[in-house]
């Protein structure tokens, strides 16, 4: 009995160490989440100087979000820009990770190159967006260069075409995050038992066979983590398109994301619709994360 009570006394420290996390979680995540869901059932906005509500309207805010047709459009915009940025990001990160962790290549100055590829992740997204906005402006250096080498006769309006604006947003997201993804994948690759690669080489496997048959399957947990966190970050895409398009989502709202749409409701003090949209985004994020997890963890039969 004495031994059991001693174990119980030790166990209490685990609960004590959990208290800071629980306090922060309750104050900054659980309470705001419950408050958002609660406010989504009320009509609560400002019309001029007049405050309307809060009046209980049930599911009316949810119906309004669905019926106005904006949610599918902005969801499509968000997913297109995320996919355009994520595919080259994961390909580039896998390639760099494989290079840096391959001892047969004997790459020099690895620490320097790892630092360089991670540095864009340290730059604020707003600074990145302002840089690209300046570079690709009608009178910017990119247009000047293209005109000088004869590609265009006059300035190309990058900010007036949906494809170029989406491409710029995707490029910035790729440049900002591929370094972080590379570090994560390198950590996973370095955790693979080297004897597996040595055995494959002895059996005559090529570098491509080793990568596809050994490295990628053993990297699956890291890849799932990277895909889900990148998806969540993509659905929360805001600062880059917001600054690049000055909050308009132009041209023709083709670069308006879900969070930019949410920000418009918050800016207009329409807290009821903002709460309903937040709940929809929470549900969408959960469903897509589950789909990615199930798809990437499905066993081959």
Average predicted confidence (pLDDT) for the chain:
89
- DSSP labels for 95-107? HHHHHHH-TTT--
- pLDDT of 100 higher than 80: yes
Q: What is the reported pLDDT for 3?
A: 53
Q: pTM, whole model, 2 decimals? A: 0.88
Residue 243 has pLDDT above 60, yes or no: yes
Specify the pLDDT at position 299: 53
Q: Bigger pLDDT: 277 or 7?
A: 277
pLDDT category, 301, cuts 50, 70, 90? very low
Measure CA 180 to chain center: 12
> How large is the average pLDDT for residues 24-50?
90
How does pLDDT run across 117-166, given as a tens digit for each residue?
A: 889 888 888 898 999 999 999 899 999 999 999 988 899 999 999 999 99
Phi and psi angles of residue 72, each rounded to the nearest 5 degrees, phi first: -60, -40
Q: Say what the pLDDT of residue 197 is.
A: 86
- CB under 8 Å to 235, separation ≥6 — which residues? 78, 82, 258, 259, 281, 284, 285, 288
**What's the pLDDT score for residue 273?**
92
**Average pLDDT, integer, range 271-281:** 93
**The predicted structure's pLDDT at residue 226:** 94
Segment of 41-45, 76-80, 104-108, 296-300 carrying the highest mean pLDDT: 76-80
Q: What is the pLDDT of residues 191-229, one digit of tens each?
A: 888 888 889 888 888 888 888 898 899 999 999 999 999
**pLDDT confidence of residue 8:** 59
pLDDT value, residue 9: 67
Q: Give me the sign of the Cα torsion angle 197, 203, 207, 208.
A: negative
* pLDDT value at residue 71: 92
């Amino acid at each position: 009995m004495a031994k059991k009570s001693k174990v119980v006394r030790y166990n209490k420290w685990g609960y004590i160490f959990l208290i800071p996390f629980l306090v922060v979680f309750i104050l900054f995540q659980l309470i705001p989440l419950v408050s958002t869901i609660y406010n989504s059932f009320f009509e609560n906005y400002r019309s001029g100087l007049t405050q309307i509500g809060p009046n209980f309207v049930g599911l009316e805010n949810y119906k309004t979000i669905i019926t106005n047709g904006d949610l599918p459009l902005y969801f499509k915009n968000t997913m297109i820009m995320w996919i355009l940025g994520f595919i080259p990001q994961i390909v580039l990160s896998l390639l760099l990770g494989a290079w840096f962790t391959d001892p047969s290549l004997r790459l020099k100055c690895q620490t320097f190159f790892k630092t360089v590829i991670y540095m864009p992740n340290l730059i604020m997204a707003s600074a990145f967006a302002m840089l690209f906005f300046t570079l690709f402006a009608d009178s910017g250096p990119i247009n000047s260069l293209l005109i000088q080498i004869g590609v265009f006769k006059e300035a190309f309006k990058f900010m007036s075409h949906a494809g170029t604006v989406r491409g710029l947003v995707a490029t910035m997201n790729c440049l900002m995050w591929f370094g972080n993804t590379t570090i994560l994948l390198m950590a996973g690759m370095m955790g693979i038992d080297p004897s597996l690669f040595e055995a494959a080489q002895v059996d005559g496997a090529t570098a491509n066979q080793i990568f596809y048959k050994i490295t990628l399957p053993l990297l699956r947990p890291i890849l799932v983590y990277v895909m889900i966190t990148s998806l969540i970050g993509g659905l929360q895409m805001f600062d880059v398109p917001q600054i690049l398009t000055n909050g308009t989502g132009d041209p023709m709202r083709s670069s308006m994301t879900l969070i930019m749409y949410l920000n418009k409701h918050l800016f207009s003090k329409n807290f009821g619709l903002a709460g309903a949209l937040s709940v929809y985004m929470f549900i969408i994020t959960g469903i897509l994360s589950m789909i990615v997890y199930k798809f990437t963890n499905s066993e081959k039969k």
